[in-house]
Structure 1
């Protein structure tokens, strides 16, 4: 059996008082053209970091949010798919829920530093707009509307909900 090299990352489901979710627009260059994916803020867990340490760092860098408490772990995703993450056989994403008042996201990273991470925009989305979206951009997870609706309507799960691609 061969070992699988997965990139471990943390992501924040940031919901404001009106249940809008903050998403990052990633424009990922590929040989066949650019793929646009809307995903929760976050990123890779560096060597020696805990999940929550990585989450705090990523939120400070990308959106300028400082956490006062440890957010609940709500979703877990494992995707084994060569090419899904450059240099890896896939990803593991652990998602944490953060409830906060609406804010204008602006992290410590410059626009050039964000662009180097393929982030081209940060935007608040209404859940219904995700459900109704029929354009060419993708969401991560692809079925984001479903787990998001369940999280908003049912509240915190007893343990992290497994997600698909």
Structure 2
């Protein structure tokens, strides 16, 4: 039987100070909070960039009019990554922008229904130095954008990431 993987399009939204925009997800089942790149589920028959634009507009506000480069592809198989699925497939796109105050189309109540309870800009140093109870759902290269596509250049093909 084929695996049921939840497909998502996510944005590495970096501002002119190389801060990364992250959404704080409150996981009801565990009581844990996790910071992750904005984005979300790709609906059946939906193109990844269409999903990315929709998710960004809903969650954080910027409208992506150009086609951002697809920089990373991640497949993680295992229980607990997505309810009702055998794992996840995350495609990451690099979105460079000037800093802005995040304000998506969804209300705070609508975001909370999707488990999003905050949005914040993070510098690489702030991510590295964080010692609080929240977790970061980020591949190692995202935790240090200075080592990723923002500085190394955009790859010709998306780089494959581990879990």
1:18-48 CA distance string (max 9 Å, x none): 1001000001112xx3121110100000122
Report whether the alignment pairs 1:21 with 2:26: no
Structure 2 gap segments, 5+ residues each: none
Contact 1:44 1:54 in 2 (8 A): yes
Aligned to 2:37: 40
Identify unmatched segments of 5+ residues in structure 1: none
Q: Which stretches of structure 1, 4 residues or more, deviate above 6 A after TM superposition?
A: none
Determine the structure 1 residue equivalent to 2:112. Answer: 115
Name the residue aligned to 1:155: 153
Looking at structure 2, the residues matched to 154 and 34 of structure 1 have their Cα atoms a distance apart, in angstroms, of 37
2:87 to 87, 90, 104: 90
Cα contact 1:141–1:164 (8 A) shared by 2: no
- Partner residue, 1:73: 70
TM-score, normalised to structure 2, is 0.93
1:65 is paired with a residue of what secondary structure? Answer: coil
Q: 1:59 aligns with which of 38, 56, 61?
A: 56
Superposed CA RMSD in Å reads 1.4
Determine if contact 2:72/2:158 at 8 Å carries over to the other structure. yes
Larger deviation, residues 114-123 vs 79-88: 79-88
